Amino acid sequence: MISTIILQAGGGNMLGTLVPMVLIMIVFYFFMIRPQVKKAKDHKKLVADLKKGDKIVTTAGIHGRIVDMNELTFLIEVEGGTKIRFDKSAISLDATKAAVPKIDTVKA
C-alpha cells in the first residue's frame, strides 16, 4: 500500500516522501513529547522536595498544609482541622514557594 502511494505521489521518488515524514516526526517530538517529559520531571522533583508543614494546592484546587507523608500519599490538613489523604500525583503547586504577586499602589 505504501509503495503504491509513493508511486502515485512522485513517480517513485522515495526521498521526496521520506523527508517530510521525518520533519513531521521531529516537529512532533520538539513541540509535543519533549515539553511533556520536562513537565513530568519537574513535577516529580516538586513532589520529592515537599516536606511536613509545606502549604500545597491539589489538582482539585484544595488548599492545605502537609501534616504527614509516606511514600505514596500525603495527609493534608485543610480549614477547620479537617484532614484529607491525597496521592502524591494529586499535588499541583507548592504554595509556600509560589510567588505572591505584589500590589503596587498608584500615587496621585
DSSP character string of 21-73: HHHHHHHHIIIIIHHHHHHHHHHHHHHHH--TT-EEEETT--EEEEEEE-SSE
Q: Taking a C-beta distance cutoff of 8 angstroms, is the pair 63, 95 a contact?
A: yes
pLDDT digits (tens, 9 = 90+) for 26-80: 999 989 999 999 999 998 998 899 899 999 999 999 999 999 999 899 999 998 8
| pLDDT surpassing 90 at residue 83 | yes
Nearest to 17 by CA among 28, 6, 1: 6
The residue that leads in pLDDT, 98 or 19, is 19
pTM beyond cutoff 0.75: no
